[in-house]
Structure 1
Amino acid sequence: MPQHPRVPLVLVSGLAPAPNDELAGLLHAGPGTAVVHHDLRQIGSGVVRRRLRLGPRDELTALELAHGCVNCTLREDLLPLLRRLARMPQVHRIVVRLDEAMEPEPVSWAIRNVLVGDRPVIEDVAPEAVFTVLDCATWLADATGDELLAERGLQGSPEDERTLAQVALSQVESADVLVLSGSAPDAWCAARSSAVLDRVAPSVPRVEIGRTDAEGLLAAVPPDARRGAVTDLHGALLRGAPPLQPDCGIELHTFTAQRPFHPERLHEAIDVLLEGVVRTRGRAWVASQPDVAFWLESAGGGLGIGHAGPWLAAPDGPDWAEVSPERRTLASLRWDPVHGDRAQELVVVTDQATPEEIDAVLRGALLTDAELAEGEAAWRAYPDPFGDWHEDPCEETDEPDRHVNAANGNAANRKDETS
Structure 2
Amino acid sequence: MSADEHRLAVAVVGGLHADARHAAVEEILRTVPGSVALHHDLSAATDRAVRRTVRDASGPLGGGEAPLVNDCACCALREDLVPELLRLATGGGHRLAVVELWDSVEPQAMAAVIAAEGAPLELTGVATAVDPALIVPYLANGDDLAEAGLAAAPADQRTIADTFARQLEYPTLIAVAEDGMSGEPADCGDHALLTQLTPGAGKLWLGEGALGPALLEGFDIEAAAARQHPACALLPQEGDDHGVATLVWRRGRPFHPGRLYAALEDLTCAAARSRGRFWLADRGDTLLSWDAAGGALCVESAGPWLAALPDAAWEMVPPERRVAAALDWHPGHGDRCQHLTFTSPGLDRDGLLALLDSCLLTDAEYAAGPDAWRRLPHAFDELLDPVF
TM-score w.r.t. length of structure 2? 0.84
In structure 2, the residue matched to 1:348 is 342
Secondary structure class of the residue paired with 2:85: helix
Per-residue CA distance 1:79-127 (angstroms, 9 max, x = gap): 3433443343333322110111012122223434xxxxxxx31344222
Per-residue CA distance 1:26-64 (angstroms, 9 max, x = gap): 333444433221222244675322223367522131422
Taking the aligned partners of 1:317 and 1:21, their CA distance within structure 2 comes to: 49
Secondary structure class of the residue paired with 1:19: helix
Work out whether residues 301 and 384 of structure 2, in 8 Å CA contact, stay in contact via their aligned partners in 1. no
* Greater helix share, structure number: 2
Shift of 1:297: 1.1
Shift of 1:375: 3.8
In structure 1, the residue matched to 2:68 is 64
Specify the code of the residue in structure 1 equivalent to 2:41: D
Task: Please state if 1:308 is matched with 2:322.
Answer: no
Secondary structure class of the residue paired with 2:378: coil
Per-residue CA distance 1:131-189 (angstroms, 9 max, x = gap): 211124433321234343334322222333333222222222223222222424666x4
Q: Kindly tell me: are residues 21 and 318 of structure 1, through their superposed partners in 2, closer, same or farther at Cα, counting changes over 3 Å?
A: farther
Task: Please state if 1:10 is matched with 2:11.
Answer: yes
Q: 2:91 aligns with which of 88, 91, 114?
A: 88
In structure 2, the residue matched to 1:98 is 101
Per-residue CA distance 1:264-319 (angstroms, 9 max, x = gap): 32222222333241211111112232222111111122322222222111136873
In structure 2, the residue matched to 1:333 is 327
For structure 1, which segment, 338-347 or 282-291, has the greater mean C-alpha deviation from structure 2 after superposition? Answer: 282-291
Shift of 1:256: 0.9
* Equivalent runs, 1:214-253 vs 2, <5 Å: 216-220=210-214, 229-230=224-225, 231=227, 232-238=229-235, 244-253=238-247
Shift of 1:211: 3.4
In structure 2, the residue matched to 1:394 is none
Work out whether residues 53 and 62 of structure 2, in 8 Å CA contact, stay in contact via their aligned partners in 1. yes
In structure 1, the residue matched to 2:38 is 36
Matched positions, count: 377
Work out whether residues 176 and 222 of structure 1, in 8 Å CA contact, stay in contact via their aligned partners in 2. no
Taking the aligned partners of 1:221 and 1:81, their CA distance within structure 2 comes to: 20
Specify the code of the residue in structure 1 equivalent to 2:10: L
Work out whether residues 124 and 218 of structure 2, in 8 Å CA contact, stay in contact via their aligned partners in 1. no
Shift of 1:346: 0.8
Please, which runs of 5 or more residues in structure 1 have no aligned partner? Answer: 113-119, 392-417
Percent identity of paired positions between Structure 1 and Structure 2: 31
Taking the aligned partners of 2:271 and 2:244, their CA distance within structure 1 comes to: 9
In structure 2, the residue matched to 1:211 is 208
Taking the aligned partners of 1:386 and 1:158, their CA distance within structure 2 comes to: 27
Name the Cα RMSD after superposition. Answer: 3.2
In structure 2, the residue matched to 1:402 is none
Q: Kindly tell me: are residues 223 and 38 of structure 1, through their superposed partners in 2, closer, same or farther at Cα, counting changes over 3 Å?
A: closer
Q: 2:52 aligns with which of 50, 53, 57?
A: 50
Q: Kindly tell me: are residues 370 and 222 of structure 1, through their superposed partners in 2, closer, same or farther at Cα, counting changes over 3 Å?
A: farther
Task: Please state if 1:168 is matched with 2:169.
Answer: no
Taking the aligned partners of 2:385 and 2:45, their CA distance within structure 1 comes to: 21
Specify the code of the residue in structure 2 equivalent to 1:196: L
Task: Please state if 1:366 is matched with 2:368.
Answer: no
Shift of 1:386: 4.3
Work out whether residues 66 and 80 of structure 2, in 8 Å CA contact, stay in contact via their aligned partners in 1. no
Task: Please state if 1:146 is matched with 2:135.
Answer: no
Per-residue CA distance 1:217-261 (angstroms, 9 max, x = gap): 23446979756821243225337xx5x452232111111111122
Please, which runs of 5 or more residues in structure 2 have no aligned partner? Answer: none
Taking the aligned partners of 2:24 and 2:76, their CA distance within structure 1 comes to: 22
> Structure 1 residue runs of 4+, over 6 Å off?
222-225
Shift of 1:200: 0.9
In structure 1, the residue matched to 2:197 is 200
Work out whether residues 49 and 73 of structure 2, in 8 Å CA contact, stay in contact via their aligned partners in 1. no
* Equivalent runs, 1:245-324 vs 2, <5 Å: 245-315=239-309, 319-324=313-318
